[in-house]
Amino acid sequence: MKTTVADICWTMNEIAPISLAETWDNPGLLLGKTDATVKKIMLALDLTPEVAEQAIEEKVDMIITHHPLYFNLPKTLAVTDTKMECVYELIKNDIAVYAAHTNLDAAVGGVNDVLAEILGLTEVVAIERPECPEQGLGRIGVLAEPLTMEVFTENVKSALAADGVAFVDAGKPVYKVAVVGGAGSDFIAAALDAGADTFVTGDLKYHVAQKALDQGINVIDAGHQFTEMPVVTKLEQVLSAWIEETKRTIEIVVAEEEQVLRHL
């Protein structure tokens, strides 16, 4: 069965409906022809020059990333930076690009459900998001038993294979945990309102950490990349199941991505 870029877009919208994205986001098909044939897909968290190079070497027809290459479209198509260089190379090699970002964060089985599962949370529910009543973005659940902050922090580091994590210990045992993969500091208030004693996210700033301490909520910054990368494996599984179910001939490869932020 022939598969087109449009078919993949349709399937991705079933997995992570674009309607669930934040208003500032830029998900969906970002590059390519909808009627182009797709026989090989590459999955990645980010479309870096290294990922683009791998895609060209692997002769893929389409790249699906979590983060959009552009949140705001450039005013010129002149090659003035590495992003536009990537665009030119991908066009020359007939490679389409699709991004599923905050819609994949919010989607059932997406970034935050995967993160909650990896961290051992049960009774997981979405945290309400007023701007999108259809589906919350963050998740909240409970552990099998209360843990000390020290033990839970070590568990998070191990579960995500992180080389280091930062944390705010508000002096509470860890039991009801909220999660938002990536840069989720803006959701701390929502986590508190949902009754969380602990919040796991990435990109925590000092003054936000200070405020969380004052508000009495434990916070773990496990890194933007580490908290989101597991969804790539999940997406590979979901797309592979769809390919098998619909009897399509499509190969999926996962990009090799370097760790961006490292800890000594």
Domains of the chain (ranges plus CATH)?
Answer: 5-103 (3.40.1390.30), 108-227 (3.40.1390.30)
pLDDT attached to residue 97: 98
Distance CA 172, CA 116 (A): 20
Q: What's this model's pTM, rounded to 2 decimal places?
A: 0.96
pLDDT attached to residue 159: 98
pLDDT at 184 over 90: yes
CA dist 116 → 62, 138, 157 (Å) = 29, 10, 14
Mean pLDDT score of the chain, rounded to an integer?
97
Residues above pLDDT 90, as percent of the chain = 95
List of E strands, the chain = 28-31, 40-44, 62-65, 96-99, 122-126, 139-147, 166-168, 174-183, 198-202, 218-221, 251-254
pLDDT digits (tens, 9 = 90+) for 203-238: 999 999 999 999 999 999 999 999 999 999 999 999
pLDDT at 136 over 90: yes
pLDDT attached to residue 147: 98
Which of the four pLDDT bands, split at 50, 70 and 90, describes residue 264? confident
pLDDT at 122 over 90: yes
pLDDT attached to residue 1: 79
Give backbone dihedrals phi and psi of 244, rounded to 5 degrees, phi first.
-65, -45
pLDDT digits (tens, 9 = 90+) for 57-91: 999 999 999 999 999 888 889 999 999 999 999 99
Which of the four pLDDT bands, split at 50, 70 and 90, describes residue 28? very high
Which amino acid appears at position 186 of this protein? D
Distance CA 168, CA 152 (A): 12
Distance CA 259, CA 248 (A): 33
pLDDT attached to residue 187: 96
Q: Which residues does 238 contact at the CB level (< 8 Å), separation at least 6?
A: 15, 109
